[in-house]
Homo-oligomer: A and B are copies of this chain.
Amino acid sequence: MENRLKRGLAKLQEVDGKSGDAVVNSMNTIFPDLVKYMIEYTFGDIYSRDILDLKAKEMAVVAALTALGNARPQLNVHINGALNVGCSINEIKEIILQMSAYAGFPASINAMNELKDVLKEREEQGINDCIGKEPTSSVLPAERYEVGLKELSELDSQQAELLKEAYKDIAPELVQFIICGQADIMARDNLNKKFRELSTISALTALGTAGPQLKFHISAGLNIGLTAEDIKEIMLLISVYAGFPQAINGTNILKEVLTERSAKEKVKAE
């Protein structure tokens, strides 16, 4: 237990390299205790857990900070961190693009500008980042709705019908835009669905204003192969980046989803 600080410093170095040092040095002159707690908790406790690897963690943090939109210096640090631990440039772009659906285009555009700055800085420092894959397919305009339906059904087989039924009188266009948006984003095959859902769960937990959508995406994440343990790790990460209240509220929603799923499975078994 006495090694939280030591372990945290090593993990911080692994993830953030020089930009982590800069944060530490800047804070140390004003309030060393804050730095100590931050390193011990964030890096000694949370980043040192091994259920999600560093790449998944950094993607989820980039997603959350993109969606929150009010912590630009930390977004810079974690885009650097994501690149340092093996995310490709295109994977980070996919995460930022995806956030347009969950936090709006301003959030995505501002984060994309931050990515641009980070890449320029890293190039100047002679760092050679991996560009990564481009999406291999593109969706024709006339196929967007059908492709979107297929994508949505991979997350949840009943969701499209539920949306259509719930909003048929009040807002059928909204449902159509949601389904077509699935084709624009989720059909891009250069980031796997597990990373996509982890990132969405992370962002919605951090925002704290989208309970029903968080519930859907936790369930969708479990459907495509995330484990409850994976999702718990996201809640712990969010305690660092948006505070314990959001981590607790997210965990409550996870608990609700797991309870409902286990009740359904019991019914099936009988």
Query: Taking A30-B112, A33-B97 as contacts, is the C-beta distance between A104 and B232 under 8 angstroms?
Result: no
- Chain B CB within 8 A of A173 CB: yes
Chain B residue numbers with a CB within 8 Å of A74 are 105-106, 109-110
- SS class of chain A's interface: helix, strand, loop or mixed? helix
Complex alpha-carbon distance, A67 and B26, angstroms: 20
In the complex, which residue of chain B has the Cβ closest to the Cβ of A105?
B38
Task: Give the copy number.
Answer: 3
Contact of A170 among B33, B38, B251 (CB under 8 A): B251
Complex alpha-carbon distance, A173 and B233, angstroms: 10
Query: Taking A236-B173, A251-B174 as contacts, is the C-beta distance between A109 and B243 under 8 angstroms?
Result: no
For A, the interface residue count at a CB cutoff of 8 angstroms equals 84
Are B245 and A213 within 8 A (Cβ)?
yes
Complex alpha-carbon distance, A205 and B155, angstroms: 26
Chain B residue numbers with a CB within 8 Å of A113 are 26-27, 30, 73
A142 to chain B, nearest CB (A): 6
- Chain B CB within 8 A of A160 CB: no
